[in-house]
Amino acid sequence: MIIGIDASNISSGGGLTNIIELINSLDISGHHIEKIIIWSSASTIKKIPKKEFVLFRSPKMLNGNLLYRTLWQLLYLSKEARNEKCKVLFIPGGSYFGNFKPFVTISQNLLPFERKEYTRYRWSIKYLKFIFLRFTQSLSFQRADGLIFLTEYAKEVIQNDINKIHGEVRTIPHGINTRFKSIPKTSKDITVYSESLQFRLLYVSTVDEYKHQWKVIEAINILRNDGFPLSLDLVGSYYKPALKKLDRAIEKYDPKSKWVNYHGLIDYHKLDLIYKSSDLGIFASSCENMPIILLEKMASGLPIACSNLGPMQEVLNKGGLFFNPEDPNDIAKVVKKYLESSELRNKMSNISHNLASKYSWSRCANDTFSFIIDIGNK
């Protein structure tokens, strides 16, 4: 079977990670795959692993702006897929405007379907983008012959929002890069720590409206006022309006830069070292589809204090303690439970580490392409 993959509108983030890991982890010996053809920009193609069974196509329009790439998908992709004798198309970007059938797509961004979350951006360019994505992805999901969800939570949200999904539906979680897998950290009693050897909390995620880093800072300030010698490392890129909120929180609660450290975006290949040097992971997002960063924390062996919203309880299950991410007092209450018990930290880190073992990219690749092939054979 010849499979086409439309990566025309994928350049970074979870969509790119998904393609890279799927291709890198796929063993075609267990599938009837003759070749895979990927259409994308030259810059994206450079990032995708090169395999004998993978061919790349980069028409001139795919190296242009979003409008050119969208027009190419609408006007040319179907014809090119037929010329390449593709049996099925895989659309990892979620939106498809062409007429090639059958096609399989995937829901990777839940923000356009959670009204409370996208209205945080009201009247901004980002808000309009989410409205547009909601429209285009809804149409694509309704037309798709196969639709992949990453969590049961995401499936429920979107199926309740879109009434007419006619294709086959499958839940296939993402995997975890093996570099993050580590032995669970043995926790020390809080009395070992001091202002010269602070207990290090880590929150890795883009600084954004629904990530609530400023609420976490306020919560840690409450605990520091109670005498706990804590520091907070924040890692990730930023959305400018949210960065202003972060800067105001740092100026208010840590004006002398004694315990909040915002590192910005760190090279992906160095993240595992950040995890290993930390004592407790925090994840305070209120909207996720498949929280890869949470999976990484689980695999690294960190105890985790986590948001109780979205799919987080589905993923972390009994391997963590949960809080309301918009309530600094609740965040502080949960973190305090960890601080007061090294036994609890050890217990939770071991449970979450064991849970992380079921999330592998080889399993994800096998399940994804098995589903795509099934749809192509119908």
Structure confidence by residue, pLDDT tens digits, 134-149: 999 999 999 999 999 9
Contacting residues for 33 by C-beta, under 8 A, at least 6 apart: 1, 3, 53, 369, 373
In the predicted model, is pLDDT for residue 14 greater than 80? no
Max mean pLDDT range (14-23, 163-172, 250-259): 250-259
Are 107 and 94 a contacting pair, CB within 8 Å? yes
In the predicted model, is pLDDT for residue 267 greater than 90? no
User: ∠107-23-371 over CA atoms, to 5°?
Assistant: 50
User: What pLDDT was estimated at residue 316?
Assistant: 96
What whole-number distance in Å separates Cα of residue 65 and Cα of residue 298?
38
Looking at domain 178-356, its CATH superfamily turns out to be: Glycogen Phosphorylase B; (3.40.50.2000)
User: What pLDDT was estimated at residue 362?
Assistant: 93
In the predicted model, is pLDDT for residue 282 greater than 80? yes
Which residue type occupies 326?
Answer: E
pLDDT band at 68 (very low <50, low <70, confident <90, very high): very high
Q: What is the CATH topology of the domain spanning 2-175+360-376?
A: Rossmann fold (3.40.50)
In the predicted model, is pLDDT for residue 229 greater than 80? yes
Q: pTM of the full predicted structure?
A: 0.92
Query: Which candidate, 58, 39, 44, places its Cα nearest to that of 12?
Result: 44
Query: Which candidate, 326, 307, 315, places its Cα nearest to that of 351?
Result: 315
In the predicted model, is pLDDT for residue 272 greater than 90? no
Q: Output the six-digit token pair for 212.
A: 């609530």
Distances in Å between the Cα of 91 and the Cα atoms of 39, 222, 348 are: 10, 46, 37
* Domain boundaries for CATH 3.40.50.2000 within the chain: 2-175+360-376, 178-356
Mean pLDDT computed over 205-223: 97
What whole-number distance in Å separates Cα of residue 214 and Cα of residue 224?
15
User: What pLDDT was estimated at residue 19?
Assistant: 93
In the predicted model, is pLDDT for residue 13 greater than 80? no
